């Protein structure tokens, strides 16, 4: 039985348009730049000396994200199954 079609299901999602994705990307970069530049106007109270480096929080967040990706890639190498794992039958050991 076919599902009924409506005009909403025929319309592409707004994130499928490259123009909208480009605008979002630029908006995110602008927000990140503003938050980093706001550090110039805010008096910081760092607990450690390294925290007083300009844009430390941005660099720390970027480094933590990169480290998480590296750890996930390493875990994938250890834990992944072969590409043909699900093609074998239950008694093909």
| 91 domain-assigned | no
| 51 domain-assigned | yes
| 88 domain-assigned | no
Residue 19 belongs to domain spanning? 14-80
| 44 domain-assigned | yes
| 43 domain-assigned | yes
The domain total for the chain is: 1
| 31 domain-assigned | yes
Give residue-wise pLDDT tens across range 50-78. 999 999 999 999 999 999 999 999 999 99
More confident residue, 2 or 75: 75
pTM of the predicted model, to two decimals?
0.63
Q: Report d(CA 39, CA 50) in Å as an integer.
A: 15
Q: What is the DSSP string of the chain?
A: -PPPP-HHHHSPPGGGSHHHHHHHHHHHHHHHHHHHHGGGTS----SSGGGGSTTHHHHHHHHHHHHHHHHHHHHHHHHPPPTTGGGS-TT--
| 6 domain-assigned | no
């Amino acid at each position: 039985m076919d599902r009924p079609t409506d005009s909403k299901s025929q319309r592409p999602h707004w994130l499928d348009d490259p123009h909208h994705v480009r605008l979002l990307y630029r908006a995110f970069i602008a927000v990140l730049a503003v938050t980093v530049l706001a550090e110039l106007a805010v008096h910081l109270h760092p607990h450690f000396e390294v925290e007083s480096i300009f844009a430390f929080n941005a660099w720390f967040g970027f480094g933590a994200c990169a480290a998480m990706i590296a750890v996930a890639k390493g875990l994938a190498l250890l834990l992944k199954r072969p590409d043909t794992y699900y093609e074998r039958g239950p008694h093909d050991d």
